[in-house]
Amino acid sequence: MAQSNIDPSLPLVDLHRHLEGSMRLETILELAQDHGIPLPAVEPEALRPYVQAVIPQPGLMAFIEKIDLSVSVLADLDACRRIAYECIEDAAAEGLDYIEVRFSPRYMAGPNRLNAADVVAAVADGTEAAVREFDIRANLIGILSRTYGIEACWEEFDALAAHHSHITAMDIAGDEAAWPAELFTEHFRRGRDLGWHITAHAGEAAGPKSIWIALQQLGATRIGHGLRAIEDPALMDLIAEEGIGVEVSLTSNVQISAVAEYADHPIATYAARGMKVTLNTDDPAVSGITLPHGYRVAAPAAGLTREQIRRIQRNGLDVAFLSDEERAALRAEKS
């Protein structure tokens, strides 16, 4: 049953994948060696527990610490370009037809004091090179890392805006509980003015109010994770009625201990209420998964029927940040 959960007549898309959480283990080791950056281990299997959630983590920030170590090896712009290229290459190898990769230029720049705007250019260059070489389409989503505070997010916004034609959408991520979304409404107003689509991490480490704010004040048309929407029936109804996309990442939600196991995830409830849920990887290298794993293993374990899983695959294309013409082209390629 597993592989047949993926409908070959429909495009397979991932709308929520972090570049920084997609770094190959071998690349982390090679970059560290090339630039003399110390790591806690120098053999792949010994390093794995430091950069991969091999056991559930006590919370979101503990999960992010795994990514912190990976990002520490981004010593120059060539490294940033390389991991973007490899991220797209890996997505194509998984059988994806379209992917939206999100990244925080300030987060990537920070450990080795790179210029954040130059990081954006390097990521765009690596992405475009891979798209040309592999049979896949891709778009980039720029993240504001709220963990650094309001002023730092303005600097990050400016770095993204300097190359705004390469960015399709804007997101906010990081410590959701400590830095509520209403602090960043002006950032997102300016992002909308640039023509960017808006998505937002919300309802992952904070309650339904965080999702309401993302929708009403940030202008989000998609929500990253949205786990806590289950606590507010009126919010679930609104999300369903407005066709708001919900970017679900089943495995990482278990790994940050937001839910104890797949069966406890609210995705089946969301699907039954008509919400446009999608399946995504989040941080596939940290989680040790691919997108097909979500369809084959995680989705059935979360209580979704085969028909619901097929509908979720269709939802991915419906809520992707694509024009109607681009959507039609992707459908035509699969027919």
In DSSP notation, 159-218 reads HHHTTGGG--EEEEES-TTTS-GGGGHHHHHHHHHTT-EEEEEESSSS-HHHHHHHHHTS
Q: Are 142 and 101 in contact (CB under 8 A)?
A: no
pLDDT value at residue 331:
94
User: What is the b/e burial string over 241-277, where b = at least 16 CB atoms within 10 angstroms of the residue's CB?
Assistant: eeebbbbbbbbbbbbbebbeebeebbbbebbebebbb
pLDDT digits (tens, 9 = 90+) for 304-329: 999 999 999 999 999 999 999 999 99
pLDDT digits (tens, 9 = 90+) for 215-251: 999 999 999 999 999 999 999 999 999 999 999 999 9
Rounded Cα gap, residues 28 and 156, in angstroms: 24
Rounded Cα gap, residues 152 and 266, in angstroms: 34
Q: Torsion-angle region of residue 226: left (phi > 0), alpha (psi -120 to 50) or beta?
A: left
Which of 143, 138, 119 shows the shortest CA–CA distance to 128?
A: 138
Average pLDDT over residues 17-37: 98
Tally Cβ neighbours within 10 Å of residue 150. 13
Average pLDDT over residues 177-192: 96
Helices (H), 218-266: 233-242, 250-255
Tally Cβ neighbours within 10 Å of residue 323. 9
Rounded Cα gap, residues 289 and 224, in angstroms: 18
Residue 3 has pLDDT above 80, yes or no: no
Q: Are 250 and 260 in contact (CB under 8 A)?
A: no
pLDDT value at residue 60:
81
Find residue 144's DSSP bridge partners: 172
Which of 305, 311, 253, 302 shows the shortest CA–CA distance to 278?
A: 311
Q: Which residues contact 200 (CB under 8 A, 6 or more apart)?
A: 171, 172, 181, 214, 218, 220, 222, 223, 224
Q: Helix, strand, coil shares of the chain as percentages rounded to 5?
A: 55, 15, 30
Q: Are 279 and 299 in contact (CB under 8 A)?
A: yes
Domains, in order of start, for the chain: 3-334 (3.20.20.140)
pLDDT digits (tens, 9 = 90+) for 43-56: 999 999 999 998 88
Tally Cβ neighbours within 10 Å of residue 322. 20
Residue 2 has pLDDT above 70, yes or no: no
Percentage above 70 pLDDT, the chain: 99
pLDDT digits (tens, 9 = 90+) for 139-162: 999 999 999 999 999 999 999 999
Q: Are 82 and 318 in contact (CB under 8 A)?
A: no
Average pLDDT over residues 264-282: 98
pLDDT value at residue 61:
82
pLDDT digits (tens, 9 = 90+) for 248-272: 999 999 999 999 999 999 999 999 9
Tally Cβ neighbours within 10 Å of residue 120. 26
Please identify every residue annotated as catalytic. Answer: 204
Q: What 3-state class would DSSP assign to 107? A: helix
Residue 1 has pLDDT above 50, yes or no: no
Rounded Cα gap, residues 80 and 19, in angstroms: 10
Distances from the Cα of 32 to the Cαs of 38, 40, 70, 72, in angstroms?
7, 11, 9, 8
pLDDT value at residue 205:
83
Lowest mean pLDDT among 49-63, 177-191, 272-286: 49-63
pLDDT band at 10 (very low <50, low <70, confident <90, very high): very high
pLDDT band at 35 (very low <50, low <70, confident <90, very high): very high
pLDDT digits (tens, 9 = 90+) for 64-99: 899 999 999 999 999 999 999 999 999 999 999 999
- Provide the 8-state DSSP code for 15: E
Tally Cβ neighbours within 10 Å of residue 295. 23
Average pLDDT over residues 283-295: 97
Average pLDDT score over the chain: 96
Handedness of CA 21, 23, 26, 31 (dihedral sign): negative
